[in-house]
Amino acid sequence: MGNQFNMEFKSGMVFSPPELKYFTGKKNGQEYVFSNSAQVDNEGGVAKNTCNLKMIGINLFKGKSYSEYSNSGITFSWGFDIELTR
């Protein structure tokens, strides 16, 4: 609805803390870009997640997901292809 969208992963992944399964996003041309971030440990570590999705059909989105963990100048990052179906 409007310029902002919400997305929730209901299965297929484990999120810690659980609020990381909720994303907010916006439509940018033909792509939907969702992201979130949260402090994930008691040492100040922060996780950031982004999903870039393109609508292929009414029940199918495909794209890329990117995640990052940072703490005290150290950063780990990873990504994967993603396909969402309804």
Q: What is the pLDDT of residues 18-30, one digit of tens each?
A: 999 999 999 988 8
CA distance 45 to 52: 24
**Residue found by looking up tokens 């008691």 in the block:** 42
What is the number of domains present in the chain? 1
CA 56 to chain CA centroid, nearest Å? 18
Q: Read off the pTM.
A: 0.84
- The token duo for 56 is 């292929």
pLDDT of residue 1: 45
16 or 64: which carries more pLDDT confidence? Answer: 64
- CA separation for the pair 55, 30 (Å, rounded): 7
Provide mean pLDDT across the span 4-14: 87
Rounded CA-CA distance 58/84 in Å is: 11
pLDDT at 2: 56
Q: Please check the confidence at residue 7 and state whether its pLDDT lies above 50.
A: yes
Query: Domain range for residue 74?
Result: 5-85
